[in-house]
Amino acid sequence: MEKMTYRDFDRYLKDYPDKNGRFGPYGGAILPPELVPAMNEITEAYQTICHSSQFINELRRIRREFQGRPTPVYHCERLSNRVGKCQIYLKREDLNHTGAHKLNHCMGEGLLAKYMGKKKIIAETGAGQHGVALATAAAYFGLECDIYMGEVDIAKQAPNVTRMKMLGARVVPVTHGLKTLKEAVDAAFDAYMKEYKDAIYCIGSVVGPHPFPMMVRDFQMVVGIEAREQFKEMTGFLPDAVVACVGGGSNSMGMFPAFLSDPVDIYGVEPLGRGPGVGDHAASITYGKPGTMHGFDSIVLQDENGDPLPVYSVASGLDYPSVGPEHAFLHDCGRVNYVTISDDEAMQAFFALCRYEGIIPAIESSHAVAYAIKLAREMEVGSILVNLSGRGDKDIDYVAEHYGYGDILKI
Ligand SMILES: *Cc1c(COP(=O)(O)O)cnc(C)c1O
């Protein structure tokens, strides 16, 4: 694909995706025929509603009064000094209500469901983070909420299962296959096919068939728009680099668009887990090939038959064998650099943020912080803005058991 620089991105958001939901060769909606009318209904409703001032004003009010937006940008002085002269800043999505960026698109999807006159929202969840955010949105809007979750994950993620139930959601155990995320996606899609007249499917990242990658990006973009303004007001400049972790790719697609047409280096950080061997990581762009999964074309970690490979990361929110189609496009055109961080590097950053800044980050977000630390050492001067996608309260028991309380810290 032809390479693009920041100068080529002035009209980008108008041109991408095209009307078929394509970002160059990626994206689209590869669906069973029964689902085509349902997806078209969502696309049409979204295209109308996203231009309505009533919808926009309502979403703004919700963000301000319910979510606690804008979230601050914070200068990590102690961490930066520890590392060198380059200054590290965080966009604090960990301070968004429910503790992560996911609520940004869940509230948007909930409001859309309400405008479309749906009674129920349906989704899958792996670690339970998307399920909790969606259950929160359902309670806010007075919608029913069915969350499909593998039996194995239900056993592993007890606190999030409790949260969803307290918020009034129905957690539906999925008992076939490996009983984890992939089976949960299948089960949620099956349920949606039967109930689409009354229900809407709410995806958890910038993945799935069109219009979800576009819609979730649009709802998340508030993160980068706020952060760019806040950073300029604090420092008088733009950052030299912007960094975010990439699982499916929603927090990063929240951050990146505001900076695409600026002379800013952009980095998406993929999880290298235990290393580059098959089944040891989930670095889909770094090690994957073009392929199709869950209704869209993208870059996929796959075997020679095109079946998705097993994935692993210490951060359960990052272990997906593909990535949002827009990331695949931004990779191929060279505008965003995709890099990797291992489990051990992420855990170093986790403890560094705990000890030097008083912030317990999500292990997912720690991948972005770890790369910022590496980059700060290389750059020596300048500034880096990191999207801190979530807080780490959900991770503390696991971390204490496997990594202790920070004695391993070498930064
Ligand atoms: C789910 C999650 C992620 C990964 O999802 P993206 O769609 O890639 O953003 C990252 N950070 C946190 C805190 C999460 O909960």
> Does 94 lie in the same domain as 40?
no
Ligand 1 mutation pick, 251, 267, 371, 386, max ligand atoms within 8 A of CB: 251
> Does 76 lie in the same domain as 47?
no
CATH code of the domain in which 380 resides: 3.40.50.1100
Distances in whole angstroms, Cα of residue 410 to Cα of each of 83, 140, 344, 345, 382: 11, 44, 11, 10, 23
Residue 336 sits at φ, ψ, to 5 deg, of -115, 135
Last residue within a domain, chosen from 191, 217, 243 = 217
> Does 27 lie in the same domain as 176?
yes
- Residues 144 and 121: beta-carbon distance below 8 Å: yes
β-bridge partners, 124: 148
Query: Does 198 fall in a domain?
Result: yes
Terminal Cα distance for the chain, rounded? 39
pTM exceeds 0.95 for this model:
yes
Count of domains observed in the chain: 2
Residues having CB within 6 Å of any atom of ligand 1 = 100, 102, 129, 205, 245-251, 317-318, 362, 364-365, 389-390
pLDDT of residue 328: 98
pLDDT of residue 67: 98
Burial 29-55 (b: 16+ CB within 10 A, else e): bebeeebeebbeebbebbeebbeeeeb
> Distance between CA 143 and CA 135 in Å, rounded?
9
Domain span at 27: 23-64+102-217
Last residue within a domain, chosen from 187, 217, 247 = 217
Tens digit of each residue's pLDDT, the chain (411 residues):
899 999 999 999 999 999 999 999 999 999 999 889 999 999 999 999 999 999 999 999 999 999 999 999 999 999 999 999 999 999 999 999 999 999 999 999 999 999 999 999 999 998 899 999 999 999 999 999 999 999 988 988 899 999 999 999 999 999 998 888 888 988 998 999 899 999 999 999 999 999 999 999 999 999 999 999 999 999 999 999 999 999 999 999 999 999 999 999 999 999 999 999 999 999 999 999 999 999 999 999 999 999 999 999 999 899 899 999 999 999 999 999 999 999 999 999 999 999 999 999 999 999 999 999 999 999 999 999 999 999 999 999 999 999 999 999 999
Point out the catalytic residue in the list 50, 51, 75, 76.
Answer: 76
> Does 91 lie in the same domain as 31?
no
> Does 52 lie in the same domain as 86?
no
Last residue within a domain, chosen from 171, 200, 217 = 217
pLDDT of residue 393: 94
> Does 297 lie in the same domain as 148?
no
76 is catalytic: yes
Distances in whole angstroms, Cα of residue 267 to Cα of each of 4, 210, 221, 249, 347: 15, 25, 16, 12, 19
